[in-house]
Amino acid sequence: MLTAIETTGTINANHQIVLDEDLPSNAPSRVRVIVLFDEDTADFGEREWMKSAAKNEAFDFLNDEAEDIYTLEDGKPLNDEI
């Protein structure tokens, strides 16, 4: 079973990834790494992450009509009353 962890990091001068957060205690083990970066932007904001994810072929299955299992009539509306 694969567990996904989303974090940010920096690629240093030695072309190594330095994470901004520690990994879970079950390390060391082999991992699969997907690196998303924008050559024009040194620091990713939320918008850049969303654009990268939107272009990622890993999420193409979401365009399948079989994934459209909910309608506007499902669920209950949120009322953000404070």
Across the chain, what does the average pLDDT equal? 78
Segment 28-72, tens digit of pLDDT: 778 888 887 766 655 667 777 777 777 778 888 888 888 888 888
pTM of the entire predicted model: 0.39
Residue 53: the pLDDT is 76
CA dihedral sign of residues 44, 36, 52, 65? negative
The radius of gyration of the chain from alpha carbons, rounded to an integer in Å, stands at 18
| Partners of residue 10 on adjacent β-strands | 18
Residue 36: the pLDDT is 78
CB 41 within 8 A of CB 31: no
Q: How far apart are CA 23 and CA 20, in angstroms?
A: 10
Domain ranges of the chain: 30-67
Segment 11-24, tens digit of pLDDT: 888 888 888 888 77
Residues 6+ apart with CB under 8 A from 74: none
